[in-house]
Chains A and B, each alone.
Chain A
Amino acid sequence: MNLIIGAFTIGLILSLLSLGMLISFRMIKFTDITVDGSITLGASLSAVLIMAGWSPWLATLLAFLAGSLAGMITGILHTRFKIQEILAGILMMTALYSINLRIMGRSNIPLLDTATVSSGFEKLLIELTGGEAKLLVFGWPVSLADLAVFGSSLILCTLIGILLTRFLRTHFGTVLRATGNNPQMVRAQGVNNNTMVIFSLALSNGLVALSGALLAQYQGFADVQMGIGMMVWGLASIIIGEALIGKTGLGVTITGAILGTILFRLLIAIALRWGLNPNDLKLVTALFVFLALVTPGMFKSMSNKFFGGSRHA
């Protein structure tokens, strides 16, 4: 049970990464590699600030802002200086590697016995259960700390999902979604599509950094290497989400990304449990994404089998 709760928690935290990437990769159609750097940025900045005694909430918020700044720079590199989007992302990601080392001062910061964003929730749980350290969930004992992290992640994630959905449905959000679809049309409607790209990348990388901050707090450390391959994981999650419930609407797409991430983490947890060498994990993920990209019909038919095929009618 601990394993499942853990997978769900990581899944919920990383779903913020997926949501961020949903904005860049899917909505404005920008292949943004900054992600690998900005998730570490969020983790390292929040870790350093929490260690320095800042409020975990404030640290997490600042991580979000730092990620936004990184995304904004990538956007400016692309739109202002006409650098190809992939190269712009690579430049920013590479720069962030050094920046993250600078922030942390070393390659790894442990976060032991420090307050996190879930601390308040944990206290509440402890008061409610009257001091028990563990709670029975479906007959399995689960530590209150784990439950607290899970619960707060769930609340945060749901909140952000709803906010994002509502935001994307506003006038501004509608134009943002159109930007990736047809920049020409967006210009013809009087909107500077370059500004939209910069804003979207800022929002996207802000969410990614937020995910990184929460991940560091959950894992109890920030590592300069932790971002490697995160982009591919996020992509895999998005693909699974789309295969699972499709992309017929905005709410569906966002829910799909969240559920996809959770399922992906569960699959990984199961695979690791069955003896998959953790070092092979990224290879397997890359293969998975490769297959998903070259066989577009595969997942669609898979989801049709799951849901009786009526969804796409």
Chain B
Amino acid sequence: MLKIYAISKTFFPNTVNEVRALQKVSLTIEEGSFTAIIGTNGSGKSTLLNAIAGTFFPDEGKITLDGTEIINWPEYKRASLVGRVFQNPFAGSAAEMTIAENIVMAMRRGQSRPLRQAVTLSVKEVIAERVRLLKMGLEDRLDNPIGTLSGGQRQALTLLMATWLKPKLLLLDEHTAALDPKSAAKVSELTKNIIQQEKLTALMVTHSMQQAVDLSDRIVMMHRGQIVEDYRDEMKKRVRVIDLMETFDRVQKRELFDESVAALLEKQYV
């Protein structure tokens, strides 16, 4: 479904602030799989997601989605294939517009925008029906500005919007990280249900290893712009949070092992 070939991205090249955010990352995501990407801050996990979404263009490499080379597609064009939920619960919807207006925009994601009235009564009925499934009582508030809702409610709606038209790929960028624990659990649950019901192909960046273990069927660990671990199939079923922690620990220990440690061990390790 999604194939990433050796993409690299360096921010602020040739300056003191140079960040090699992605270093020849390759990744293939099969259709219908739910992959979680975990990693420390600055590991490049969000950068990888943004590279797929088209927020920036990588320095090198190729990305094909559903057999189409999309590396030169601008962000808005990729939206026809990709649904997205952001970390910031306010980033996925237009605050001053009503719930119905926001959803009606998502109902034509990546399609033409005709000069016909967008929010008609019949459309509203369709919207209310789907919104009712969120069990948040929002179906009665379709004409309220979406900005009046809580972060959790907005994120749930954003998720609904991103999947209203079945995307070839759903990108979730730490979409529960900014929510309170209760809302986060609710949105997590919702994510799982929607992905299962619609049989979506999804890629989720998360800070929470528990969430990665609970929701996904494959876990990719990144560090310093590279993929350092890839738990899939049977391995993923076996993996627990503590295993992920240990892997993190190991990767970090390796990071701390520098020349001075090598000199120290040469002196003392026999």
Interface centre among B94, B109, B111, B114 (most CB of A within 10 A): B94
Q: Complex: how many Å from CA A189 to CA B84?
A: 9
A102 CB–B CB distance under 8 Å = no
In the assembled complex, A217 has its CB within 8 A of some CB on chain B: no
B76 with A191: CB separation less than 8 A: yes
Do A175 and B113 have beta carbons less than 8 Å apart?
Answer: yes
| Complex contact A192–B74 (CB within 8 A) | yes
Select from chain B the residue with minimum beta-carbon distance to A169.
B117
Shortest Cβ distance from A26 into B: residue: B96
B260 shortest CB reach to chain A, Å? 44
Residues of chain A within 8 A (CB-CB) of B96 are 177, 181
The 8 A CB mask of A162-188 against B (1 = contact, 0 = none) is: 000011011111110110011011111
Whether B105 and A174, one on each chain, are in contact in the complex, defined by CB atoms closer than 8 angstroms, is yes
Asked if B115 and A172 make an inter-chain contact with CB atoms under 8 angstroms apart, the answer reads yes
Contact of A171 among B74, B80, B114 (CB under 8 A): B114
Q: Is the interface of B mostly helix, strand, loop or mixed?
A: loop
Interface residues of B in 69-89 (CB under 8 A from A): 74-77, 79-80, 83-84, 86
Contact of B106 among A169, A189, A192, A193 (CB under 8 A): A189
Q: A187-B75, A190-B79 are in contact. Are A170 and B118 (CB under 8 A)?
A: yes
Contact indicator A181/B97 (Cβ below 8 Å): yes
Interfacial chain A residues near B109, Cβ < 8 Å = 188-190
For A167, the chain B residues whose CB sits under 8 A away are 115
B151 within 8 A of A: no
Is B27 located at the chain interface by the 8 A CB criterion? no
**B178 CB within 8 Å of chain A:** no
Residues from chain B with Cβ under 8 Å of A186 in the complex: 76, 94, 105
Does any Cβ of A come within 8 Å of B93's Cβ? yes
Residues of A near B115 (CB, < 8 A) are 167, 170-173
Q: How far is the CB of A172 from chain B (nearest CB, A)?
A: 4
A193 touches B93 (CB 8 A): no
Q: Is B138 an interface residue (CB 8 A)?
A: no
Partner of B118, one of A171, A185, A193: A171
Q: Tell me whether A181 and B94 are in contact in the complex, defined as CB-CB below 8 angstroms, given that A190-B80, A190-B110 are known contacts.
A: yes
**Complex contacts, A178 vs chain B, CB 8 Å:** 94, 97, 101-102, 105
Q: How many residues of A contact B (CB 8 A)?
A: 23
With contacts A171-B113, A190-B77, A190-B111 taken as known, whether A184 is within 8 angstroms of B86 at the C-beta atoms is yes
Given contacts A172-B114, A174-B118, A177-B97, contact A188 B108 (CB under 8 A): no
B94 and A177 form a contact (CB under 8 A): yes
Return chain B residues, CB-CB under 8 Å to A166: 117
Q: A171-B113, A190-B109, A190-B111 are in contact. Are A185 and B104 (CB under 8 A)?
A: no
Closest residue of chain A to B145 (Cβ to Cβ) is: A248
**In the complex, which residues 152-178 of chain B have their Cβ closer than 8 Å to any Cβ of chain A?**
161-162
- Report Cα–Cα, A181/B101, bound state, in Å: 12
CB distance from B121 to the nearest CB of A (A): 13
Which of chain B's residues have a CB closer than 8 A to the CB of A177? 94, 96-97, 101
B119 at the interface (CB under 8 A from A): yes
Q: Least Cβ distance of A301 to chain B in Å?
A: 21
Q: Tell me whether A192 and B76 are in contact in the complex, defined as CB-CB below 8 angstroms, given that A174-B101, A185-B92 are known contacts.
A: yes
The answer to whether B113 touches A191 (Cβ under 8 A) is yes
Contact between B114 and A190, CB atoms less than 8 A apart: no
Q: Once bound together, how far apart are the Cα atoms of A193 and B96, in whole Å?
A: 17
Residues in A whose Cβ lies below 8 Å from that of B161: 189
Q: Is B95 engaged at the interface, CB distance under 8 Å to the other chain?
A: yes
Q: B74, B114, B117 — which one has the most chain A CB atoms within 10 A of its CB? A: B117
Q: Which residues of A contact B105 (CB under 8 A)?
A: 171, 174-175, 178, 186, 189
Enumerate chain B residues within 8 angstroms of A171, measured Cβ to Cβ.
Answer: 104-105, 108, 113-116, 118
A188 to B123, CA, bound (A): 21
User: In whole angstroms, how far apart are the Cα atoms of A177 and B93 in the complex?
Assistant: 12
| 15 sampled A-B residue pairs with Cβ under 8 A | A167-B115, A172-B114, A172-B115, A174-B101, A178-B97, A178-B102, A181-B96, A182-B90, A182-B93, A182-B95, A187-B79, A188-B162, A189-B110, A189-B161, A190-B111
Q: Please report B residues at the A interface, Cβ cutoff 8 Å.
A: 53, 74-77, 79-80, 83-84, 86, 90-97, 101-102, 104-106, 108-111, 113-119, 161-162
Q: Shortest 3 CB-CB distances between A and B: which pairs?
A: A190-B110, A190-B79, A181-B94
